A and B are shown apart, each in its own frame.
Chain A
Amino acid sequence: MADTTVMAGATVMAGATVAGVFREEYGRAVATLVRLLGDITLAEETVQDAFVLALERWPQAGVPANPGGWIVTTARRRAIDRYRRESARDDRHAQAALLLAPDEPPEVGAVRDDRLRLLFTCCHPSLSIEAQVALTLRLLGGLDTPQIARAFLVPEPTMAQRLVRAKKKIRDAGIPYRVPTEAELPDRLTPVLAVVYLVYTAGHSASTGADLVQGELCAEAVRLARVLADLLPDEPEVLGLLALLLLLESRRPARTGPAGELVPLGKQDCGRWDRALVEEGQARVRRLLRRGAPGPYQVQAAIQAVHADAANAAATDWRQVLDLYDLLLALLPTPVVALNRAVALAETAGPAQALAAVEGLALENYQPFHVVRADLLTRVGRAAEAVAAYERALHLTGNAVERAFLERRRDR
């Protein structure tokens, strides 16, 4: 009886350990196995097999000293077993690579390169952005298909098919498994950063019904940004993206109120911000400013750093925010940036000027456009038009929390 309890306790502990190791090591293990096997699906299957085995073994045998290495070695052995069973398979190259590979996983540097390689493969520009995001979450984040489907509000079979097709294209079209050369990097880095940012914003705007997924996606994006910053420490935009995500993430606890309602930045209780993340984000922004090679992610991070300096909207240095938006608009002249700049303009030059800057932006189907416009219309006293703008925004909002928030503002 007592033994069973101890065993159950050990099982729970080992189970928790396996879950933790899974988070940390899944992407790393899959990336290494893809390099060894040259086959993504087989890499995924063998790594999953290894984790199943870990759940069986670790409670009795104890957690190995190097859990990640254990997973890679076990997955590799599973792959060798499979090749032996399917001896008809004409994959002599992969087989030879497997058998020749040393028993212990390669040194840390190479393992890290594996993840970077896999990230560039997942974010290859010949794949659609939807496929890039899904593959990155699946292969590097270890999220399962239902989780990814929920995060992007598509039916599970649709997401499953998207993943299968993308993996098939990688194999059939010969999308290489390598880190781009220095010369290619600027072009190839753009989609990688966009994917990581999109993973974050998907988490940020996920409906509250999927709270768990929301937190997972945001955490995963921050983790991926950290991996990238670790691997490409000389790329200012990579560091800019990490700083931006850290600062956004620092405020996530304050973004929803007790009833799950959305709390806008100006109304947030800054006591609920994660100070450690704020400080890390701001320190990173300061270091980037000294480098003097601004790019869109760095400037956005700088804007968030200014917001993080202020305890509330009134204390915000809007002049500095506006200057940064001017810079951002020069780097990234899009209507969305122009809209965000107008928010800062409203605080420095007044709502009438901001409204003039907003009118005519080609953002008819962009929900935040109508929210900003409605707020500005309210502030200049054009109440009826403001209600119409809130209606338009509501029409474009699927998220229940955000709907409630907008309805309250409309009915004020």
Chain B
Amino acid sequence: MIQYLLSVHSTEGDPEPSPEQMQAMYADVEAFNAEVQASGAWVFAGGLHPPTSATVVRVQDGEVLLTDGPFAESKEQLGGFWIVKAADLDAVLELARRASIACQGPVEVRPFQDEPAA
């Protein structure tokens, strides 16, 4: 089994969904999560607070440097993710299709590197 990151990105400046839309989306995502858990593909998932809540920690010459805001200077920022395990890309693409419908946005699929041998 390969582990994959399914990530959802939000774009700065996109219109905020209405509370009703948010409710519907939460319900859809919850239903999807339940399906994934039941299928055994589930590893972990979570939604993130907005990128403005982020802090970047950098160590330079032993000095700790903190910066307010997200690392990438981009309009597109990570909003949430699933980590799932699947036999191959086709299997995970099917999960991503359903995830994309549930969260109403594009989903990026990216494989994790193999765990180093113990």
Residues on A lying within 8 angstroms of B by beta carbon are 90, 124, 126, 172-176, 184
Q: Which residues of B lie under 8 Å from residue A174 when comparing CB positions?
A: 2, 86-89, 92, 111
Give the size range of B's interface with the partner.
10 to 19
Residues of A within 8 A of B109 (CB): 126, 173
Q: Mark B80-118, 1 if CB is under 8 A from A, else 0.
A: 000000111110110000000000000001110100010
B117 touches A175 (CB 8 A): no
Q: Which of B88, B110, B113 contacts A176 (CB 8 A)?
A: B88
Residue contact B117 to A124, C-beta cutoff 8 Å: no
| A65 to B92 Cα, complex, angstroms | 45
In the complex, chain B residues whose CB is within 8 Å of the CB of A176: 87-90
For residue A377, give the distance in angstroms from its CB to the closest CB of chain B: 44
Instruction: A124 to B117: give the CA distance in the assembly, Å.
Output: 30
20 example contacts (A-B, Cβ-Cβ < 8 A) are as follows A90-B117, A124-B89, A126-B89, A126-B93, A172-B111, A172-B113, A173-B89, A173-B109, A173-B110, A173-B111, A174-B2, A174-B87, A174-B89, A174-B92, A174-B111, A175-B88, A175-B89, A175-B90, A176-B88, A176-B90
Cα(A126)–Cα(B113), bound, Å? 18
The smallest C-beta distance from B23 to any residue of chain A, in angstroms, reads 33
Give min CB distance, A167 to chain B, whole Å: 14
In the complex, besides A90-B117, A175-B90, A176-B87, 17 extra interface pairs with C-beta distance below 8 angstroms are A124-B89, A126-B93, A126-B109, A172-B111, A172-B113, A173-B89, A173-B109, A173-B111, A174-B2, A174-B86, A174-B88, A174-B89, A174-B111, A175-B88, A176-B89, A176-B90, A184-B90
Q: In the bound complex, what is the Cα–Cα distance between A173 and B117 (angstroms)? A: 19
Residues of B contacting A175 in the complex (Cβ-Cβ under 8 angstroms): 88-90
The contact string, 1 if C-beta is below 8 Å from chain A, for chain B 20-46, is 000000000000000000000000000
CB distance from B51 to the nearest CB of A (A): 27
The docked-state distance in angstroms from the alpha carbon of A184 to that of B113 is: 28
Chain A residues, CB < 8 A from B89: 124, 126, 173-176
A215 to chain B, nearest CB (A): 36
B47-73: CB near A (< 8 Å → 1, else 0) gives 000000000000000000000000000
Q: How long is the Cα–Cα vector from A121 to B83 in the complex, in angstroms?
A: 24
Instruction: Give the residue among A126, A172, A175 with the most B Cβ atoms within 10 A.
Output: A172
Q: Which chain A residues border B86 with CB–CB below 8 Å? A: 174
- Residue of B89, B93, B111 with highest tally of chain A CB at under 10 A: B89
Q: How far is the CB of A9 from chain B (nearest CB, A)?
A: 50
A176 CA / B87 CA spacing, docked (Å): 9
Of the listed residues A90, A126, A174, A176, the one surrounded by the most CB atoms of chain B closer than 10 A to its CB is A174
A175 CA / B91 CA spacing, docked (Å): 10
Tell me which residues across on chain B come within 8 A of A184, comparing CB atoms.
Answer: 90
Chain B residues within 8 Å of A90, by CB: 117
User: Chain B's nearest CB lies how many Å from the CB of A118?
Assistant: 15
User: Which chain B positions have C-beta within 8 A of A124?
Assistant: 89
Q: How far is the CA of A175 from the CA of B88 in the complex (A)?
A: 6
Chain A residues within an 8 Å CB radius of B88:
174-176
Q: 6 tightest CB-CB pairs across the interface, nearest first?
A: A176-B88, A174-B88, A174-B2, A174-B89, A175-B89, A173-B111
CA gap between A184 and B93 in the complex, in Å: 13
Taken together as a complex, chains A and B put the C-alpha atoms of A182 and B92 apart, in Å, by: 19
What is the distance, in angstroms, from B93's C-beta to the closest C-beta of chain A? 7
Write out the residue numbers on chain A whose beta carbons fall within 8 Å of the beta carbon of B92: 174
In the complex formed, the residue of B with least CB distance to A175 is: B89
Q: What residues of B have a CB within 8 angstroms of the CB of A172 in the complex?
A: 111, 113
- Measured between beta carbons, the chain A residues less than 8 angstroms from B110 are 173
Query: What separation, in Å, do the CA atoms of A372 and B109 have in the docked complex?
Result: 44
- Which chain B residue has the least Cβ–Cβ distance from A176? B88
In angstroms, Cα B107 to Cα A279, docked, is 49
In the complex formed, the residue of A with least CB distance to B113 is A172
Residue of A at shortest CB range from B92? A174
* Cα A173 to Cα B111 with chains together (Å): 5
